[in-house]
Amino acid sequence: MQQLELEQDLRLHAEAFAHEMLVQKKEASRQSTILLQGAGPSAQLLAALQDVARLTRALEEAKQEQHQRVQELEEQLGKRPEPEELDEARAALAVAEEEKLRLRTRLQEAEQRLRELQEEVGLLQEKLAQDPPLQSRPPEVAAPPPPPPLPPPAPAVPVDPLLAIRQRKGLVNRQCCKPEAEDAKARAVQEMMERIKNGVVLRPTKERDPLGQGASVAGSKRRSAALELQSILGAMRRASRRAGARQSSLKGRDRQLEAILQRRRRALDVAPQEHSDDEAAEGPDPGDEDLDAAPSGCSPPGSRDKVPFRARVASGLPRTRPLARPTGGRWELG
């Protein structure tokens, strides 16, 4: 706006100057006409005419220059942008200034980070120069791990509880026992022991006690069960002494058998205390006498059960658990 006002002032001044020059020209021409009419030309008149001609040329030149300047200003005014475009340009300029400030801030942060990294690199290089790294060695191939130890072999011949009882009483002739019968009984006993270890409760026998012998039968059951488990425990201990290499595993088995024996004793001692009093009054169990008097020998060759037969009377030592019978290729407690 200031430039526009300046241009307008210059234009008005040029017009006033041109009008003044025009007036002076008219006066000079009138005076020259008067002088030409009154007398001949003189030196002063010629000088005045020359001045007039010179001023006229200067005026024309100034007029042309002023006209050119006015045209240029008009062209500039025509090329001036609209107010909306000017506002948009100003907004873009403000955004550019903000972006410039943000980029300048990021540049300063990057330069600061670069200086810190250069300092860290210098420190690391100094440390490496002070402590040179050791020569890299090829990685040694680790030896393969040793193979796992073989599982301990199973005991050669498991213990038969009934056979152990007969051996203690001296009623069994070892020479008459066949190896195949021992293997069958050993498998049955082994399966029974595995069931006991796994927590399988054995089925109670359903034999009917004779009339009038309830107390003696209960005491005989407790005594026979304790004898059987004690014989199993003793046989397992003897087997552990013979197999020194499997001593640790058999010790664990002995502890399991002792725990089983304690549980069996607690289960059998639930009977009333009066049964034990009756047994003390009656004297020795007739079953023991029958057991001592029973003949020893081998089972007949054609017999299906390869366990030696032993005759028992009705009032003798009752059987606390059924013998193992082969069913479907497996030995199962009856």
Residues above pLDDT 90, as percent of the chain: 10
pLDDT > 70? residue 310: no
Domain contains 322: no
The pLDDT confidence band at residue 291, using thresholds 50, 70 and 90, is very low
Nearest CA among 224, 216, 232, 235 for reference residue 286: 216
Domain contains 2: yes
pLDDT, tens digit (0-9, with 9 covering 90-100), for 186-244: 888 888 888 887 776 666 555 554 544 555 666 677 777 778 888 888 887 777 677 66
pLDDT, tens digit (0-9, with 9 covering 90-100), for 111-126: 999 999 999 999 999 8
Domain contains 293: no
Domain contains 320: no
Average pLDDT over residues 63-80: 83
Average pLDDT over residues 24-28: 82
Predicted pLDDT at 219: 65
Q: Which residues contact 311 (CB under 8 A, 6 or more apart)?
A: 290, 294, 295
Range of the domain at 173: 1-269
Mean pLDDT, the chain, whole residue set:
70
Domain contains 313: no
Domain contains 291: no
Domain contains 281: no
Residue 155 has phi, psi (to 5 degrees) of -60, 145
Predicted pLDDT at 161: 65
Domain count, the chain: 1
Residues 164 and 189 sit within 8 Å (Cβ to Cβ): no
Torsion, Cα of 44, 46, 50, 56 (10° steps):
90
Domain contains 154: yes
pLDDT, tens digit (0-9, with 9 covering 90-100), for 235-275: 877 776 776 656 666 677 788 888 888 888 888 877 555 55
